Amino acid sequence: MSKEQNNDLLKFLKPFSADINETVLWLREFVWGLYPQTNELIYDNYNAVAFGWSTTDKLGHTFCSIAVGRSSKNIHFGFYWGSELSDPDKILLGQGNQYRYILVTDKKKFPKAYIESLVHEAYKNSLDKVKDKKQIKQGLTIVKSISEKKRTNKPKTAKKTTEKTVKIKTKKKK
């Protein structure tokens, strides 16, 4: 498969709103435009739909990714090895040993030039991690996993008022 063969991804994104789909697909075009020779790895997981770009078909060589949370509906533009990036403006979020990201709420507010420079740095780091250059593949879209069970939003129920809560609410001030 390739960039143009996106039927699986579109199917995985179907539960999300049109606005989310538009933003996610715009971000996808942004990355494919920079690195058409790389590979897109797609994960339709329990908590999120995530897809990233790798110099090989291995997750460990992923240099950037997009994820949409099933319950939060947050869009992350992330870097698998983000802790290794310079990030001079310190805009990347995340405290762990590895992954860093930004929340994308609006295409107009997306710091495209800044993120592009981080993507270039991440791509170079990814190539450096490939020990066997025979692993490098080009221009593929690969569905890596599909979780049968997906997280759903449970309808919020009204809180039950207990006898104790009622007594506290009705106590008069002295």
pLDDT (0 to 100) of residue 165: 45
Residue 83 lies in a domain: yes
pLDDT (0 to 100) of residue 134: 86
pLDDT (0 to 100) of residue 3: 59
Residue 169 lies in a domain: no
Q: Is the pLDDT of residue 14 over 70?
A: yes
Residue 164 lies in a domain: no
pLDDT tens digits, one per residue of 31-55: 999 999 999 999 998 899 999 999 9
Q: List the beta strands (DSSP E) in the chain.
A: 39-44, 48-54, 62-69, 75-79, 100-103, 141-146
Residue 167 lies in a domain: no
pTM reported for the whole predicted model: 0.81
pLDDT tens digits, one per residue of 119-166: 999 999 999 999 988 888 888 888 888 877 666 665 555 555 445 444
Contacts of 122 (CB under 8 A, 6+ apart): 63, 64, 79, 80, 81, 82, 85
Residue 155 lies in a domain: no
Q: Based on the structure, what is the number of domains in the chain? A: 1
Residue 2 lies in a domain: no
Give the range of the structural domain holding residue 28, as residue numbers without chain letter.
7-149
Residue 98 lies in a domain: yes
**What's the rounded mean pLDDT across residues 5-13?**
87
pLDDT tens digits, one per residue of 56-107: 999 999 999 999 998 899 999 999 999 999 999 999 999 999 999 999 999 9
Q: In 3D, which of 143, 146, 16, 141 has the Cα closest to residue 68? A: 16
Residue 121 lies in a domain: yes
Q: Is the pLDDT of residue 25 over 90?
A: yes
Q: Is the pLDDT of residue 117 over 90?
A: yes
Q: What angle do CA 68, 152, 2 make, to 5 degrees?
A: 40
pLDDT (0 to 100) of residue 107: 94
